[in-house]
């Protein structure tokens, strides 16, 4: 059964409006990570990261994984992504106009970390589209991605790929 997108609640939209939170989500989708592991990975203070982790958990994007024993014998509390963020439609005209850029900034950081050799392909384009054409293009792209997302669990042994599709209106000349 194919899942359907739904509109994000105000709380969910706010949680996704910060690039650091988007980055944390992506990292916790790849593997369960503790707050310290997240802080080390993204080069931020653990207190700052914990604040963002809590925001994501309260919005339903992160959940606690089973407590485990770390390398030094201490108990660790890892987090994992719930996968909810993919199935939400978030408003791009939110109260904070910069919120629409949060996923792009997070993607840039992710790409920098992976390095230029990690790029499989990219396509820059310019198209003249009516609003209806733009909506149809978006739906077609998301339908293809949804097929892969829905069956991703079948390919967990394969390398993980990330990407971003941004359709934006060009500035008027």
Q: What is the pLDDT of residues 109-145, one digit of tens each?
A: 889 989 999 999 988 899 999 999 999 999 999 999 9
The SS3 call for residue 90 is: coil
Residue 146: CB atoms within 10 Å: 16
Residue 86 in tokens: 């993919």
Contacts of 166 (CB under 8 A, 6+ apart): 104
Read off the pLDDT band of 100 (50, 70, 90). Answer: confident
Whole-number Å distance between alpha carbons of 9 and 74: 37
What would the mean pLDDT of 32-44 be, rounded to a whole number? Answer: 94
Burial call 29-66: b when 16+ CB within 10 Å, e when fewer:
beebbbbebbbeebeeeeeebeebbebbeebebbeebe
Average pLDDT of every residue of the chain: 88
pLDDT at 2 over 60: no
Cβ atoms of residues 45 and 35 within 8 Å: no
Q: What is the DSSP letter of 53?
A: H
Tokens of 49: 């990261």
The token pair that represents 120 in the structure block: 């499989």
Average pLDDT on 51-69 reads 94
Most confident of 45-49, 96-100, 108-112, 162-166: 45-49
Give the dihedral of Cα atoms 43, 45, 51, 57; nearest 10 deg. Answer: 40
Looking only at the bridges linking them, the beta strands covering 78-81 and 6-7 are: unpaired
- Residue 88, classed as helix, strand or coil, is strand
Is pLDDT above 60 for 93?
A: no
Average pLDDT over residues 89-103: 70
pTM of the model: 0.78
pLDDT score at 28: 95
């Amino acid at each position: 059964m194919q899942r359907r997108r739904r509109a994000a609640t105000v709380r969910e939209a706010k949680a996704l409006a910060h690039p650091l939170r988007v980055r944390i989500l992506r990292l916790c989708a790849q593997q369960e990570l503790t707050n310290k592991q997240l802080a080390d990975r993204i080069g931020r203070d653990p207190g700052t990261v914990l604040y963002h982790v809590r925001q994501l958990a309260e919005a339903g994007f992160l959940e606690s994984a089973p407590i485990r024993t770390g390398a030094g014998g201490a108990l660790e509390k890892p987090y994992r992504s719930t996968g909810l963020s993919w199935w939400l439609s978030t408003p791009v005209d939110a109260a904070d106009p910069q919120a629409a850029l949060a996923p792009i900034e997070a993607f840039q950081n992710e790409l920098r970390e992976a390095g230029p050799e990690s790029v499989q392909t990219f396509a820059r384009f310019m198209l003249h589209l009516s609003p209806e054409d733009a909506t149809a293009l978006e739906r077609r792209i998301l339908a293809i991605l949804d097929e892969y997302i829905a069956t991703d669990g079948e390919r967990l042994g394969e390398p993980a790929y990330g990407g971003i599709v941004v359709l934006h209106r060009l500035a008027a000349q």
